[in-house]
Structure 1
Amino acid sequence: MRNLWAPFLLYFITNNVSALSIVYDGHRCDDDSSIANASAQSRFTVVRDLGNGNYELSLDGAFLDYEEKLCLKPLNTFLTEVEKLQSQVAPIQAFAFFNGDVLVVSYGTLARNPGTALDNPPLFEDISFPRAFTLVFDYEPSRQVFKLRSASFLTNVFTNLASPDGNKSFSAFWTNFINLTDEIEFYLEE
């Protein structure tokens, strides 16, 4: 079955018959208890074959979040209400490598401190920071699913500190390994 996967994927990508996606249905991350357990979907769709097992993907709907509990954050999470009304959320660009057994996906997001004001100088008020995720999946061809085996993220935080000799700014980077306690499976969809 593994030997059929690569030609199957290549056929659909090169002939543009339909987009090939992997999809996870889960619960939306939300602070509002009135909509607890609202459903959400994370979808990685193949945009193009880059060759040698590398693919460009688009991430639509939501992305996995691991800070408090395993849930899906909608892509528009970090937009203000005005921004949500003014624009449509574009998919996030992602890249993947697939060797027939293991799929590795990398993508990034940009988070904004929800208390910031858009018209203030960005250096002092807009505490935005990027996060880069790496997801490693095992492919189970008999079930046509990708089981999440490992996940990690790289993040950056910018902040200002008040000190006796004036304000100081600093930025910090760190990588976190995500301890997966739940089984996450993305299913294959045409």
Structure 2
Amino acid sequence: MTRVLLATRNQKKLAELRRILAVEEVSGLEVLGLADVDEFEEAPETGATFEENALAKARDAAAATGLASVADDSGLTVDALNGMPGVLSARWAGQHGDDRANLDLVLAQLTDVGDERRGAAFVCAAALVVPGGEETVVRGEWRGALTRKARGTNGFGYDPIFVPEGETRTSAELDPAEKDAQSHRGRALRALVPALRQLARA
């Protein structure tokens, strides 16, 4: 069994990768999270792009643990805000990880924006770094539009205000399997499957 580290403490992200590997029938991989390895210093996210941040996190994790490491960086890009909050999504309101404050600030910034101009996309870059080996970076995007009020409890972050294209429900109203099939993170992680399958065979 090959161990691979997903550089996160977010249990929902760990569950998502494990589900995707199961659906794609990738066997021989044991997915660990940061809680399963010795603590190491995590560098701040200073990259200008999702790809830069994901690759930096994966490199740090691989160097610190010696394990093949996957990391992602994701966020919301809002058309009417010129692509922001983007890489600043997790700290848009000033404090890292305050989901509600971030969501409320985006809604406040869009108060006067008409429904036809509320387009947005969730973006996820995912990187796999194998110590002494290859680096793979992929990207997934999920287009949609933003609501005026939060709805749903299944997601996190900006999920309660994001309605994917072709849907009437927010992504926080989708069940986990539906979200995996469509989401930016699901798309990015599935794009990593060939590299992860190769890792499982190594």
User: Normalization by structure 2: what TM-score?
Assistant: 0.32
More strand by share: 1
User: Normalization by structure 1: what TM-score?
Assistant: 0.33
Q: Which has the higher Rg, Structure 1 or Structure 2?
A: 1
RCO higher in 1 or 2 (8 Å CA, sep ≥ 6)?
2
